[in-house]
Amino acid sequence: MHVTSNHKIVGLSPTTPINLNKDMTTMLMVDEEKQYIWDKTFIQIARLMAEHSTCTRKKVGAVLVKDNRIVSTGYNGTPRGLKHCYEIFTPDKISKPNYYEEHGKFSQKYEVHAEQNCIIFAGKVFTSCEGCTLYTTLSTCRDCAKLVVASGISRVVYDELYDRDQEGINLLELMGIQVDHFVDKGDNA
């Protein structure tokens, strides 16, 4: 069924009964279900990317997608040439009471977030982020949100809400970027 600009249904005879509201609702449900399946696929890939993270506190993965094709991937860690988080925060240091404070200082100074790595890699291979969807295992922080806005990404889908602040989500929404929290429906979808 195709609707032309003057709203006539093409391909049907004038006597064919049609319930436009029901047909449109069905088409929207099919589109929503397809989108859910794609979202689930790319969130699962972001989760796999997170496994490569070298951070001892939070492993985060990201996938940048355009037209249901992966453009770039990323995970959080240090830039090439620096010691990794796990090399500094060994199990004996993680058990110390000041671990979170010390790790926070280290992370702010040296770690690159998954979203940042994803956007940076897209730039390194001359791929535009314009109109892309960013899938991430953790909702974006304020700094990553600024990069998302500046790069032209149009939608962000996150798996888990960042526990320390939601300023990133607020900025994205303020700038008109669609933000969706992925909720897994289980194996039935």
Catalytic residue among 115, 130, 167, 173: 115
CB of 76 closer than 8 Å to CB of 106: no
Instruction: Tokens for 116, please give them.
Output: 């940042």
* HEC-encoded secondary structure of 60-115: CEEEEEECCEEEEEEECECCCCCCCHHHHCCHHHHCCCCHHHHHHHHHHHHCECHH
Taking each helix axis from N to C terminus, what angle separates 142-151 and 167-174, rounded to the nearest 10 degrees?
30
Edge-to-edge strand list for the sheet holding 178-181: 69-75, 61-66, 133-138, 155-160, 178-181
Is 115 considered catalytic here? Answer: yes
Residue 69: beta bridge partners? 66
CB of 139 closer than 8 Å to CB of 166: yes
What are the residue numbers of the active site?
115
